Amino acid sequence: MTMTQSTFDNRNAAPPAGRHHPRAGLADTFTRHPELVSLCLLVAICVAVALINPAFLSPTSLIDMGRASVVTGLFALGVFSILAAGGIDVSFTAIAAFAMYSLTLFVLKVAPDLPMAAILLIAVAGGTALGAVNGWLVHELRVAALIVTIGTQYLFRGILLAFIGTVWLMELPPQMVAFGKASMLDVTTANGATVTLPWYFLVFPAAALLTWAIFNRTLMGRAIFATGGNPEVAARLGYDQRTVHLFVFAFAGGLAGLAGIVHVCANRMANPFDLVGTEIGVIAAVVLGGARITGGTGSVLGTVTGVLLITVVNNVLVLVGIPSTWQRVVVGAFILLAAAFFVTRRGKLQSRNRKPSP
């Protein structure tokens, strides 16, 4: 049995005697599977924009959106894991910046011949360690995860800028440049330019498959949903809250470290000030994918859909010439509308289930 929020609020339980369980309509289906709302919205936007401007579905545009989704997607999978456990994290960009800049500097100064595979593993290990610090603090201090991660966000960035460096690294080690340029698919446009889909794009779907396996095929996945749904019930079921907190924050930290190195290789420069302010967009993608801030719900499919929705919206706004400052307005409107829909439908569904049959 998979432990989700519905397990604890008996949303899917059989109705008591004397009451009827109404046939779920389309709106009720959306309520129980909120990721479908984002998926339908994503399809609608793509169809509408493609009809207005067919260039939107050109290989060049699709490849650009694919590349743009990788770092956001890695961040979002980590945030989803923490939200599912009932927490929240805003320090993942600081972890990514710390890992990418310090490791790039280390390779340049100390180990110029370090293999790319080792660089990726060290980035994941470093991010995992910093994420575990978050998890340990959240559990031991019994303080809201938001407060803890705001503090560690400033702590990690402060250590990076004060003790490691503030200078942009414009020349990367050759193995990192090669990783960022390695081509999986080349497309030549009508004007003769070549657009490349890099191999690092596969990092996102690989991470999504790993996250899906954790949540759907392991006891840890059940423990995470149980903890987010009702910590007291989860504890009585024997799930170790300390282990869950350490795991989800360490997992998110590892993905953040990986995202940081991918970001550096893709941009072919290391800037310690990068990624600041992208936290809200990532959290928005996860929420639009159906995860609740209160925990216990969500899915990897929904998270990926939310990431694609945010990426497509940003691309569409640029394509039609709308200033980037309006992107936040549109994303914020999507979040408010989605939240209003889910709350309204959930309230109607619960009241309908409580209504006695005539």
Q: Give tens-digit pLDDT for 242-254.
A: 999 999 999 999 9
Q: What does the pLDDT read at residue 194?
A: 83
Q: What does the pLDDT read at residue 349?
A: 58
Residue 12 lies in a domain: no
Q: What does the pLDDT read at residue 295?
A: 86
Query: 247, 242, 248, 206: which is closest to 83 by C-alpha?
Result: 248
Q: What does the pLDDT read at residue 297?
A: 86
Residue 28 lies in a domain: no
pTM here is 0.88
| CA 128-132-133 angle, 5° bins | 125
Cα distance between residue 67 and residue 274, in whole Å: 17
Domain count, the chain: 1
Cα distance between residue 84 and residue 89, in whole Å: 12
The CATH number covering residue 246 comes to 1.10.3470
Residue 17 lies in a domain: no
Q: What does the pLDDT read at residue 355?
A: 58
Give the distance, in angstroms, between the CA of residue 70 and the centroid of all CA atoms in the same chain.
10
Structural domain harbouring 112 = 33-344
Beta bridge partners of 195: 187
Beta bridge partners of 356: 19
**Average pLDDT, whole number, for the chain?**
86
Cα distance between residue 325 and residue 348, in whole Å: 36
Please write down the HEC assignment for all residues of the chain.
Answer: CCCCHHHHHCCCCCCCCCECCCCCCHHHHHHHCCHHHHHHHHHHHHHHHHHHCHHHHCHHHHHHHHHHHHHHHHHHHHHHHHHHCCCCCCCHHHHHHHHHHHHHHHHHHCCCCCCHHHHHHHHHHHHHHHHHHHHHHHHHHCCCHHHHHHHHHHHHHHHHHHHHCCCCECCCCHHHHHHHHCEEEEEECCCCCEEEEEHHHHHHHHHHHHHHHHHHHCHHHHHHHHHHHCHHHHHHCCCCHHHHHHHHHHHHHHHHHHHHHHHHHHHCCECCCCCCCCHHHHHHHHHHCCCCCCCCCCCHHHHHHHHHHHHHHHHHHHHCCCCCHHHHHHHHHHHHHHHHHHHHHHHHHHHHHHCECC
Q: What does the pLDDT read at residue 122?
A: 97
Q: What does the pLDDT read at residue 213?
A: 97
Residue 22 lies in a domain: no
Residue 353 lies in a domain: no
Q: What does the pLDDT read at residue 183?
A: 92
Residue 5 lies in a domain: no
Residue 295 lies in a domain: yes
Residue 355 lies in a domain: no
Question: Which residues in the chain show pLDDT less than 50?
Answer: 1-24, 357
How many CB atoms lie under 10 A from the CB of residue 109?
8
